Amino acid sequence: MDDVDMIARFCAATEAGDIDAVIETFAVDAELVSPLAGRAVFRGHDDLRVLFAALLPTLSGLTWRHRVGGAGTAVAVAEARVVGVRIGDAMLIEQDIDGRIRRLTPHIRPWLGSTLLAAVLGPKLARHPGVVRRSLRRNRTSISAESAR
């Protein structure tokens, strides 16, 4: 994995709408912190596949514009449209020791774009209640780490 830029591969795969290629960039325990639902965290390849399969067709003109970072953490900035309305994302991307993406933390704006994204994405995810239920469940590892503090 040393010479493979997983973040560049992730950006290219999302722009192309290639769900399989997106999933290949993730670590086995990868997670995405929802920018739309307060405490929701989507975990694992199966649930992330459902999320990206619902998300990517919702976006048009997805383009990654900037990327800064290093040493396992980067921020990538994207622009897209949802129902014709501009939406931007400054996504924090954390990688594991092998360079695979371990955690995605999107920060989307503006309000109108994020609201439309939620309105379009919500019903698509509602077709997968198990995925939604798991995303709202606290990760046992996180609970253990928090209680140890």
pLDDT in tens, 75-117: 999 999 999 999 999 999 999 999 999 999 999 999 999 999 9
Residue 143 binned pLDDT confidence (cut-offs 50, 70, 90)? very low
- For position 146, what pLDDT does the model report? 36
pLDDT recorded at residue 57:
96
The pLDDT tens digits of the residues spanning 33-55 come to: 999 887 899 999 999 999 999 99
Phi, psi of 138, rounded to the nearest 5 degrees: -70, 140
- Over residues 47-68, the mean pLDDT reads 96
State pTM to two decimals: 0.87
Q: Which residues pair with 74 in a beta bridge?
A: 69, 93
Q: Is the pLDDT of residue 149 over 80?
A: no
- Asked if residue 145 has pLDDT above 50, the reply is no
Residue 3: pLDDT band with limits 50, 70, 90: low
What string of H, E and C letters represents the secondary structure of the chain?
Answer: CCCCCHHHHHHHHHHHCCHHHHHHCEEEEEEEECCCCCCCEEEHHHHHHHHHHHHHHHEEEEEEEEEEEECCEEEEEEEEEECCEEEEEEEEEEECCCCCEEEEECCEECHHHHHHHHHHHHHHHHCCHHHHHHHHCCCHHHHHHHHHC
The pLDDT confidence band at residue 69, using thresholds 50, 70 and 90, is confident
